[in-house]
Amino acid sequence: MPTSPKKAAADDGVTRPAKPRAIRMRDVAAVAGVDISVVSRVLSGDERLVVRPETRERVLEAVTRLNYRPNIAARALKTARTMAIGMVVPDLANTAYTEIARGADERAAELGYTLLVASGRMQERLPTLEGRIDGLLYAVATSDSTAPHRLPEQIPSLLVNRREPGLGASIIANDEEGVALATQHLIDLGHTHIGLIVADFSVDTHRRRAAGYRRAMRAAGLPDASESILETAFDEAGGYEATLELLRREPRPTALFVARGPTVPWTLGALAACDELGVSVPDDLSLIVLSDVPIADYLRPAVTSLELPLATLGSRAIDQLLRLIDGEAVADAMVDEPPRLMVRETTAAPPGRR
Amino acid sequence: MPTSPKKAAADDGVTRPAKPRAIRMRDVAAVAGVDISVVSRVLSGDERLVVRPETRERVLEAVTRLNYRPNIAARALKTARTMAIGMVVPDLANTAYTEIARGADERAAELGYTLLVASGRMQERLPTLEGRIDGLLYAVATSDSTAPHRLPEQIPSLLVNRREPGLGASIIANDEEGVALATQHLIDLGHTHIGLIVADFSVDTHRRRAAGYRRAMRAAGLPDASESILETAFDEAGGYEATLELLRREPRPTALFVARGPTVPWTLGALAACDELGVSVPDDLSLIVLSDVPIADYLRPAVTSLELPLATLGSRAIDQLLRLIDGEAVADAMVDEPPRLMVRETTAAPPGRR
DNA sequence: CTGTTAGCGCTTTCAA
DNA sequence: TTGAAAGCGCTAACAG
Q: What pLDDT, on the 0 to 100 scale, is given for residue B25?
A: 93
Q: How confident is the model at residue B164 (pLDDT cuts 50, 70, 90)?
A: confident
Residue nearest to nucleotide D6 (CA to C1'): A78
| DSSP, residue by residue, B96-138 | HHHHHHHHHHHHHHHTT-EEEEEES-HHHHHHHHTTT-SEEEE
Check residue A202 and report its DSSP letter: T
Nucleotide of closest approach to A26 (CA, C1'):
C9
The residue among B12, B298, B321, B330 with the most chain A CBs within 10 A of its CB, best to mutate, is B298
Please give the mean pLDDT across all residues of chain A: 88
For range A273-301, the mean pLDDT: 91
- Protein residue ranges contacting nucleic strand D, Cβ under 7 Å: A 33-38, 49-52, 55, 74, 77-78, 80; B 22, 24-26, 36-37, 40-41, 43-44, 46, 70-71, 74-75, 77-79
Query: How far apart are the C-alpha atoms of B224 and B214, rounded to whole Å?
Result: 5
Query: How far apart are the C-alpha atoms of B185 and B304, rounded to whole Å?
Result: 10
* CB-facing half-sphere around the CA of A115: CA atoms within 13 A: 30
Q: What pLDDT, on the 0 to 100 scale, is given for residue B313?
A: 98
Q: In this structure, are residues A313 and A279 in contact, taking their beta carbons and an 8 Å threshold? A: no
Q: What pLDDT, on the 0 to 100 scale, is given for residue A145?
A: 45
pLDDT tens, residue by residue, B300-326? 899 999 999 999 999 999 999 999 999
Residues of B in contact with A238 (CB under 8 A): none
Q: For residue B341, which phi and psi values (nearest 5 degrees)?
A: -95, 125
| DSSP, residue by residue, A283-296 | TT-EEEEEESSTHH
Determine what percent of chain A is predicted with pLDDT higher than 90. 66
SS3 of B24, please?
Answer: coil
Q: In this structure, are residues A135 and A158 in contact, taking their beta carbons and an 8 Å threshold? A: yes
CA-nearest of A129, A168, A164 to A146 is: A164
Please report, in angstroms and rounded to a whole number, the separation of the first and last CA atoms in chain A: 90
The answer to whether B244 faces chain A, any CB pair under 8 Å, is: no
The residue among B4, B7, B11, B15 with the most chain A CBs within 10 A of its CB, best to mutate, is B15
Q: What pLDDT, on the 0 to 100 scale, is given for residue B142?
A: 56
Check residue B191 and report its DSSP letter: -
Cα dist. A330→A113, A158, A195 in Å? 19, 9, 37
- Which residues lie below 8 Å from residue A328, measured CB to CB, with a gap of 6+? B16
Strands (E) located in chain A: 84-89, 114-119, 135-139, 157-160, 170-172, 194-199, 229-232, 255-258, 286-291, 304-307, 333-334, 340-342
For range B121-127, the mean pLDDT: 85
Distance of CA A169 to the CA centre of its chain: 16
Query: How far apart are the C-alpha atoms of A63 and A26, rounded to whole Å?
Result: 11
Q: What stretch of H or E contains B81? A: none
SS3 of B255, please?
Answer: strand
Residue A293 and residue B264: Cβ atoms within 8 Å? yes
Say whether pLDDT at A19 is over 50.
Answer: yes
Cα dist. A267→A259, A260, B173, B305 in Å? 10, 9, 31, 20
Give the CA angle between residues A351, A352, A353 to the nearest 5°. 95
Give the CA angle between residues B88, B94, B100 to the nearest 5°. 55
Query: How far apart are the C-alpha atoms of A82 and A115, rounded to whole Å?
Result: 11
The answer to whether A131 faces chain B, any CB pair under 8 Å, is: yes
CA-nearest of A127, A129, A109 to A117 is: A129
Q: For residue B171, which phi and psi values (nearest 5 degrees)?
A: -135, 135
CA-nearest of B335, B338, B340 to B171 is: B335
Q: In this structure, are residues A301 and B271 in contact, taking their beta carbons and an 8 Å threshold? A: no
Residue nearest to nucleotide D5 (CA to C1'): A37
Q: What pLDDT, on the 0 to 100 scale, is given for residue B153?
A: 65
Q: In this structure, are residues B314 and B152 in contact, taking their beta carbons and an 8 Å threshold? A: no
Span of A13-22, A196-205, B171-180 with lowest mean pLDDT: A13-22
The answer to whether A101 faces chain B, any CB pair under 8 Å, is: yes
Predicted TM-score (pTM) of the model is 0.89
Q: Which amino acid is at A334?
A: M
Query: How far apart are the C-alpha atoms of A249 and A317, rounded to whole Å?
Result: 40
Q: What pLDDT, on the 0 to 100 scale, is given for residue A104?
A: 96
Report CA(A38)–C1'(D2) in Å, whole number: 7
Q: Which amino acid is at B337?
A: E
pLDDT tens, residue by residue, A120-157? 888 888 888 989 999 999 987 555 444 444 555 678 99
Q: Which nucleotides of D are covered by protein (CB under 7 A)?
A: 1-5, 7-13
Cα dist. A219→A102, A186, A198, A286, A341 in Å? 36, 13, 21, 20, 19
The residue among A92, A126, A332 with the most chain B CBs within 10 A of its CB, best to mutate, is A92
Indicate yes or no: strand C within 7 A of the C-beta of B52.
Answer: yes
Please give the mean pLDDT across all residues of chain B: 87
Residue B105 and residue A82: Cβ atoms within 8 Å? no
CA-nearest of B102, B157, B95, B96 to B126 is: B157
Give the CA angle between residues B162, B167, B168 to the nearest 5°. 95
Q: For residue B157, which phi and psi values (nearest 5 degrees)?
A: -135, 150
Q: What pLDDT, on the 0 to 100 scale, is given for residue B4?
A: 34
Q: Which amino acid is at A228?
A: S
Pairs of CB atoms within 8 A across A/B: 196
Q: In this structure, are residues B193 and B254 in contact, taking their beta carbons and an 8 Å threshold? A: yes
Report CA(A234)–C1'(D15) in Å, whole number: 63
Query: How far apart are the C-alpha atoms of B350 and B354, rounded to whole Å?
Result: 7
Q: In this structure, are residues A217 and A182 in contact, taking their beta carbons and an 8 Å threshold? A: no
> Which one is predicted more confidently, A253 or B6?
A253
Query: How far apart are the C-alpha atoms of A225 and B320, rounded to whole Å?
Result: 58
Q: What pLDDT, on the 0 to 100 scale, is given for residue A141?
A: 55
Q: In this structure, are residues A91 and A138 in contact, taking their beta carbons and an 8 Å threshold? A: no
Beta pairing, strands A84-89 & B194-199: unpaired
Across the beta sheet with A286-291, the strand order is A229-232, A194-199, A255-258, A286-291, A304-307, A340-342
pLDDT tens, residue by residue, B236-282? 668 999 999 999 998 999 999 999 988 988 999 999 999 999 999 99
Please report, in angstroms and rounded to a whole number, the separation of the first and last CA atoms in chain B: 91
pLDDT tens, residue by residue, A78-129? 999 999 999 999 888 888 999 999 999 999 999 999 999 988 888 888 888 9
Check residue A23 and report its DSSP letter: P
Peptide bond into B262 cis (omega under 30): yes
Residue B119 and residue A105: Cβ atoms within 8 Å? yes
- Which residues lie below 8 Å from residue B338, measured CB to CB, with a gap of 6+? B174, B177, B178, B181, B309
The answer to whether A102 faces chain B, any CB pair under 8 Å, is: yes
Q: What pLDDT, on the 0 to 100 scale, is given for residue A105?
A: 94
Query: How far apart are the C-alpha atoms of A262 and A237, rounded to whole Å?
Result: 8
Say whether pLDDT at B83 is over 90.
Answer: yes
Residue A276 and residue B300: Cβ atoms within 8 Å? yes
Query: How far apart are the C-alpha atoms of B283 and B350, rounded to whole Å?
Result: 7
Say whether pLDDT at B146 is over 50.
Answer: no
Beta pairing, strands A194-199 & A229-232: parallel
Q: In this structure, are residues A175 and A196 in contact, taking their beta carbons and an 8 Å threshold? A: no
Nucleotide of closest approach to B34 (CA, C1'):
C2
Give the CA angle between residues A108, A113, A115 to the nearest 5°. 65
- Which residues lie below 8 Å from residue A136, measured CB to CB, with a gap of 6+? A85, A86, A87, A88, A126, A129, A152, A155, A156, A157, A158, A321
How many CB atoms within 10 Å of residue A272? 22
